[in-house]
Amino acid sequence: METRISILFYGKSAKKTTENLVPIYLRVTINGSRFEVSTQRYVDATKWSSAAGKMKGNTEEARSINAYLDTLRSKVYTYQKDIIQSNKELTLETFKEKWLGINDRPRMLCEVFQHHNDQVAQLIGKDFSAATLERYKTSLDHTKSFLSWKYKVSDLDIQKLNFEFVSDYEFWLKSVRSCNHNTTIKYIGNFRKIVNICIRNGWLQKDPFLGFKMTKKDVIRGFLSEDELQTMAAKAFVTDRLSQVRDIFLFCCFTGLAYADVKKLKRSEIAKGLDGDQWIFTQRQKTETASRIPLLPIAKEIVDKYNDHPQCVNEDRLLPVLSNQKMNSYLKEIADVCGISKILTFHIARHTFATTVTLSNGVPIESVSKMLGHKNIKMTQHYAKILDRKVSDDMQLLKQKLAKMG
């Protein structure tokens, strides 16, 4: 449907002054709805032409007032064009906002970013985790530092965002902040979410990321070998704290749970599965996807070992998990004691489950993906890429089949 707009200038006799002057009003009608505003000009009622919508005669006063009214008429059509070109619907409301300058103040990048973070903070425990909020806080801090470095400003009009901005931001993260490629892409990805918010709200007409590549590089994910797992499991530690951390780490090696998931794991999330044995029925905190994991014997032994632990009993937790920082700190001690040269972090347990425990032992990748709670199998295939032993085993089977054929 075509939007109809009409313009009328008229003398408002109801507001005639004591000097018998009438104020000239502008009326803009859009699809039958009217917007009226004073032109701040006055004229003798006898000198005003209602039919022509302008002052009569050719005096200097008449020429001045009529020229001003023509300027306002042009302004109306300019605003009409601006609204349409900004992909907004021309309505009385959008025209009125444009005329009154309601939305003329530029939208600032860090303000939009902060508003997003404030909303995330209010939705922690519902749609987001505390870790997600920290990630976006760090991304906002990086954005502010980059603005100060490149533009010497504390904030920037989003209209100034372009491909050059994104490219220079990537360069700054890698050079000034010394971030590796994948970490850089992670921060750029967080920033892109804010840009997408601006685009979806109609505040930004052109995507500054158009043509920008955001491909992560494949990373060799660390994991423990079968011998290293056995060494760690058999090791007797002098202190209980190291034994406790070792046990929880091994539990994750044989279940594939990440730190956040094992920390929140409740006793009620252990139940009988289809085979009658005990399974873990939980939901991944990071992706909110379901994980269904059969308990292997060593994992079951660890659960039983801490069945009466005070922290487990009082907090209804399956295992007495410490803070992530402490767990990783103690894992370094455990690696030294066990003669393991790899730098151990808690997430290596999840990688070990995917590689050494499951894929290397012939568990189909579809089953591994399901237990890890991955949203798609591509995520799981990253683990399969590094399994030379599995490739070797598969090729040996092929050789045997080819030998029989010969």
Q: What is the DSSP string of 341-363?
A: -S---THHHHHHIIIIIIGGGT-
Q: Tokens 């990537």 map to which residue?
A: 170
Report CA-CA distances (Å) from 195 to 156, 199, 292: 13, 6, 36
pLDDT confidence bin for 208, thresholds 50/70/90:
very high
Q: What's the rounded mean pLDDT across residues 158-182? A: 95
pLDDT confidence bin for 86, thresholds 50/70/90:
confident
The C-alpha angle with vertex 103 and arms to 133 and 148, in degrees rounded to 5, equals 50
Give pLDDT, residue 215: 86
- The DSSP result for 138-150, as a single string, is HHHHHHHHHHHHH
**Cβ-proximal residues to 338 (8 Å cutoff; 6+ apart), any chain:** 228, 231, 232, 235
Give pLDDT, residue 404: 80
The C-alpha angle with vertex 58 and arms to 57 and 59, in degrees rounded to 5, equals 100
Helix axes 240-253, 324-338, angle to 10 degrees: 100
Note whether 188 and 179 are within 8 A (CB). no
Q: Amino acid identity, residue 66?
A: N
Phi/psi for 274 (5° steps) reads -65, -30
Note whether 379 and 369 are within 8 A (CB). yes
DSSP 48: E
Give pLDDT, residue 120: 93
Give the residues across from 36 on adjacent strands.
27
Per-residue pLDDT reduced to its tens digit, 6-65: 999 999 988 888 888 999 999 999 988 999 999 999 999 899 999 999 999 999 999 999
Q: Helix (H) and strand (E) counts for the chain?
A: 16, 8
What sign has the CA pseudo-torsion 288, 263, 257, 324? positive
* Beta strand extents in 53-185 (DSSP E only): 54-55
Per-residue pLDDT reduced to its tens digit, 329-338: 999 999 999 9
pLDDT confidence bin for 373, thresholds 50/70/90:
confident
199, two tokens: 């685009």
